[in-house]
Copies of this chain bind each other. A is one copy, B any other.
Amino acid sequence: VSPAPGRLTDLLDDVGGRLRARGERMTAPRRAVLTVLARQEEHLGAEAVVEAVSALDPAVHRASVYRALEALSELGVVQHVHVGHGGTAYHLTDPHVHLHAQCRRCAVILDLEPGLLDGVAGTLLSAHAFVLEPGHVALSGLCERCSAS
């Protein structure tokens, strides 16, 4: 994703251009989804996106949010992470890949340093010819709070 989206408008324009370049269109639901994802640093589940979009623009239907997430994912603007407890979380594609870990008790998601799994990726490649995609699933465990109590 090219320009650092300091302003939401820039993001919308950029994505709009890329959609049009593929013969697709920038629409209200897609704008709403991008707006929600851009202002949130947390990772949102599909249902959470639906709710936030709904608050922003009640005319946008649930199904359109799902379709927008799919379309924007295909474009590469949005990515998802699978988290063990609780399905799929969505976020804007970040120029620097980041990894995720989720607390299996309180479900909080931590963002981790990009290189964390580089060594493991190498091992998997040489030992199993498996190409790791490190950002695509969240590691599981217990966060500081939950492991303490």
A→B interface (CB under 8 Å): 82-85, 101, 103-104, 110, 112-113, 116-117, 119-120, 123-124, 127-134, 136-144, 147
Contact = CB atoms under 8 A, between A and B. Distances in A.
Nearest to A84: B82
Given A130-B144, A143-B129, A144-B130, A137 B138 contact: yes
A130 B117 contact: no
Contacts of A123: 116
A141 to B, nearest CB: 4
A128 B104 contact: no
Contacts of A144: 128-130
Contacts of A119: 119-120
A112 B121 CA distance: 12
